Amino acid sequence: MVSFWAALSTEGRWLLSTVAIQTLGRGLTLPFTLIYLHEVRGFDLGLSGTLMALIAIVGLLVTGPGGALTDRYGARAVLLAGITAMIAGNVLLAFATTPLAAAVALVLIGFNFGVSWPAFNALIAAVVDGDLRQQYFGINFALVNLGIGVGGIVGGLFADVDRPETFTFIFLGDAASGLIPLTLLLVPLRHVHGRAERPADLDAPAASYLAILREPAVRWLAALTFVAMFIGYGQLEAGLPGYARQVADVSTRTVGLAFAVNTAVIVVLQFSVLSRISGRMRTRVMIVMAAVWAVAWGLIGLAGLAPGGAVAIVGILGFMAVFALGETMLQPTVPAMTNDLADDHTRGRYNAISAAAFQCGAIAGPVVAGLLLEQDLAGLYVALMVLGCAAIAVMALVLERHVPDSANGATPVAERPTS
């Protein structure tokens, strides 16, 4: 960690040093937004769920334009717009008493989610390169989890449905956390625009999304990302809690503890994993990650075979711990490969494609999980997840044949030949 910090530029240190504090605000509200809409504001549960879906829907719709705007105007400008929308959305949501006001607020939050993801990754890539970039993405992921985890604990201790003002305070706290990155971008990082002009010696037309997607490496990486999100984060939000309660028959306390275990494993192991995967082919790391996730889903299946007892509890907690180990391999490799595939002037669009694949998987995952669990097809559900792990391994092998060695972590990016 000391050598990593020493190798970072001043801009990289500014970006990384405040990540956990920024995401603490998100952790304050993430687990409690649905509860707030339904139990505090009195909206029907179905309407509350539909309102929550606006975040993902709007985020997906604006991801493409957000990537193009990042390439045209720079990551800093897009981030400023996204963060401003997030702050306004949380302030509005804190006082929203009607579905229309809540919808507008959630649209603003979704807008930030969609445009900030590719812009932030592009900004990171603009100030960090080489193997340091992979380490940066991994450490950033650990700090994000730390901030959200601590925020969730604080929010859980503070929020009380019998005291609506406590929810107002946590949403205002989330808005206030946005002032930190806003200040960073306006003061110490005001010179880091994250925009690169297209080289004048390139005769080919400017890269469009269609042109980028014609690259086999991009297509396979996007497909792998979609499947990883479908069987991964898409299940953490709905599939895992549903399976844990309906099939494994464990308490809500166990489910909450499982998420705490997930966060703890990521924070504790991310640094060690980064040192072990440094210099190794990223596609091979993805294959190991797929195998680790297959073991995790096997533990879920074990929990379902002995519901309501100690075996079920161990299975659920074990799943989240082992799954977290796989996350520490996935999160450094996919963003680093995405940015190493891109040229400086197309980085926003490459990151937007990756973000869109992530969001599609995260949206489709809960839908499929809900349908299978509703039909009491728990065995098929687990089998589908394990099959998804096998598909990731196969796609990683195919991807390896198409991705340049430089983007696969085999050689330094500085040595990559220009095309």
Domain ranges of the chain: 1-129+151-190, 212-411
Please give the Cα distance from 113 to 118 (Å, whole number). 9
Looking at residue 199, its pLDDT comes to 57
pLDDT given for residue 305 in this prediction:
92
Per-residue confidence (pLDDT) for residue 231, from 0 to 100? 92
- Read off the pTM: 0.83
State the Cα–Cα distance between residues 325 and 321, nearest whole angstrom. 7
More confident residue, 281 or 56: 281
In this structure, of 144-148, 351-355, 393-397, the range with the lowest mean pLDDT score is 144-148
Per residue in 100-111, pLDDT tens?
999 999 999 999
State both tokens at 15. 């970006």
Of 305, 300, 355, 304, which is closest to residue 323 (Cα–Cα)?
A: 300
> 1-129+151-190 has which fold?
Growth Hormone; Chain: A; (1.20.1250)
Please give the structure tokens belonging to residue 290. 């797929």
Residue 245 CB neighbour total at 10 angstroms: 16
Domain 212-411 part of CATH 3.30.1370.60: no
Instruction: List, for residues 250-272, the tens digit of each pLDDT value.
Output: 887 788 788 888 889 998 999 89
Q: For residue 145, is pLDDT > 60?
A: yes
Confidence at residue 244, expressed as pLDDT on a 0 to 100 scale: 87
Confidence of residue 416 (pLDDT cuts 50, 70, 90): very low
**1-129+151-190 and 212-411 have identical folds:** yes
- What's the pLDDT at 13? 87
Interval 10-53: pLDDT, tens: 888 888 887 877 788 888 887 778 888 888 899 987 888 788 88
Residues 386 and 295 sit within 8 Å (Cβ to Cβ) = no
